Structure 1
Amino acid sequence: MSVLLFIVLFTALGGVLSVLAAAVFLLLPEAQQKNVLPHGISFAIGALLTGAFCGLIPHAFEEVQPQQLSTLSATILAGILGFFVLEKLLVWRHCHSNACEAHGEDSHDHHHGHSHGAQAGHRPAGMFIILGDGIHNFVDGVLIGAAFLTDVQLGIVTSLAVAAHEIPQEVGDFAILLHSGYRRGEALFYNILASLTTVIGGVLAYFSLGDLHDVLPYFLTLAASSFIYIAVADLIPSLHQKTDIKTSLQQIGFILAGVVLILVMQGIAHRFESVA
């Protein structure tokens, strides 16, 4: 199977399946949603961190000369700081347009589609979510494409890690669209449409990065910094809201499940690649 076909297949499946999983999740009773979503977040943390530290970073380091390792490490640091600044700018813009500080609103929760976002009730808010999701998915597609251009096994693992953190995000996006006046069918359609930008990003990466082998390790480290930042800055803090022993053990268990899945898929992908 050609690399391009792998890219198209996994970017399309990952994007569409994450949207469909989010849609199915929203069909559950609200009580079950509250029970299931934290487990999905814990699972995503394990998948993202394992994809970064056991997949993307080692492969990036293997692709460069020893004297370039410090530059790659600096790229990871710059990526994490860059994502912090970007999110800070987005939060600042949101607060100034919605006066969240004046009302004591947690803008981070609003961004992920919790109850504060449900009060907006304006179609423009929904369109902003669709546009932002499309851009985010496009970048994910570029990173997945860069991973596949480096190694098919790495591409498969990266696609799984992206899908793991996309599902909780898509749930939030779906909820915002519904509360912005969109019918369920419309919300599903626009979410799937936005998810297809992942394919566009992957295909663009294939044709634009295919001849730029020296650039690929830097894309891999940027992808790793993205995974690390999402897990550490966005997802882990939400787990600290509950500190009882039972919940903490469940969180650890699902994080480990995410770790194990990525490691197992790495082994399966490696064997599949060897046979192919």
Structure 2
Amino acid sequence: MDSQTVLLVFIAVGLDGLAGLAGGALSERWLRRHLPALVAFAAGTLLAAVFLEVLPEAVEAIGDTAFQWALGSFVTLALLEWALGHHHPADTAAGQAHAHGHAHGHTHTHGAPTLPAALLASDALHNVGDGAAVAAAFLVSPNAGFATALAVIVHELPQEVGDYALLRAAGWSRARSLVALGGVQLTAMVGAAAVLLGTRHLPSLQGTVLAIAAGSFLYIGAVDLLPELRRGPDSRQRVGGFLCGLLLIAGLYFAERVLGVHG
């Protein structure tokens, strides 16, 4: 592990953190218009990254055990989301204007005292996993790292926009919501640092983390995001976004495997 790899990891994690604050920077009109395509794009990048980069690298590192870790990750995430309750990013962000109206009127949603805490705790755990996945991927190769980081960043945007909307709906101010989400984003650094340090003593950790990431990415892309392609009248925008996400990761894969572009 060299200093350049470490630098790339933390730049990628930092960009992921900035994506988490996008809810307060983007206009509600822009979100309502473009978020369906963005969600579909995120689904495409996640699924392509799983099958073209993350899972194959995990299998190469730890063998068929990678499939067991991926399945365990998929099932665990499903159980956690069922236990905690989850929201669809496009639905939540599309209702952001309604949420802002409640916030400005100081009207709190049902369960507002517990919703923000549960939401932020779940988000923190998710970000730890994202940071770990990005670090493990960059340790394999720059191409795997770029593909994984891109998948993480583009699915982070609609998710965090939705979380921002929910915090505002719970009566939190704009500043308090952004500070809370910014603090939660820092947990990705913890995940990245843990992998960078842990692989020095346990080299197989790299492949295990990638397998776990593959399972979680597959769940998020196929269960949380992909169904959004079937919602609403703007199907062309959604399908176009999905195909663009697939093609972007496939292009990175093509450059690495076929043209021999390596980091």
Does the pair score TM above 0.5?
yes
Task: Report the equivalent of 1:6.
Answer: 8
Retained in 2: the 8 A contact 1:121–1:181?
no
Q: Is the 8 A contact 1:4 1:203 kept in 2?
A: no
Aligned residue number for residue 58 of structure 1: 56
- Name the counterpart of 1:84: 78
Q: Deviations over 1:116-174 (max 9, x none)?
A: 99534735422332232222111211121121222222112111101111101101111
Superposed CA deviations along residues 4-27 of structure 1, whole A, max 9, x for unmatched, are 2221111111222x12433223x2
Letter in 1 for 2:201: D
- Whether 1:213 aligns to 2:214 is no
Match of 2:123 in 1: 133
**Cα deviations across residues 34-80 of structure 1 (Å, max 9, x unaligned)?**
2211111110110000110111012122224xxx32x3223322322
- Kindly, what percent of the aligned residue pairs are identical? 29
The one-letter code sitting in structure 2 at the alignment partner of 1:80 is F
CA contact (8 A) 1:138 1:201 kept: yes
Q: In structure 2, give the amino acid aligned to 1:23.
A: G
- The one of 221, 237, 250 equivalent to 1:263 is 250
Q: Give structure 2 stretches of 5+ with no counterpart.
A: 100-108
| CA RMSD in angstroms, aligned pairs only | 2.9
Cα distance in 1 for residues equivalent to 2:150 and 2:221:
15
Aligned residues: 249
* Corresponding residue number in structure 1 for 2:167: 177
Structure 1 residues 110 and 33: alpha-carbon distance in aligned structure 2, compared to 1, 3 A threshold: closer
**Amino acid in structure 2 at the alignment position of 1:19:** G
Amino acid at match of 2:213: A
Match of 2:28 in 1: 28
Query: Would the aligned equivalents of 1:8 and 1:199 in 2 still touch at CA under 8 Å?
Result: yes
Q: Is 1:177–1:187's contact at 8 Å kept on the other side of the alignment?
A: yes
- Gaps (5+ residues) in structure 1? 92-106
- TM-score normalised per structure 1: 0.79
Instruction: Map 1:1-276; keep pairs closer than 5 Å.
Output: 1-16=3-18, 18-25=19-26, 27-29=27-29, 32-64=30-62, 68-69=63-64, 71-91=65-85, 108-109=87-88, 113=92, 118=99, 119-120=109-110, 122-242=112-232, 247-266=234-253, 274=262
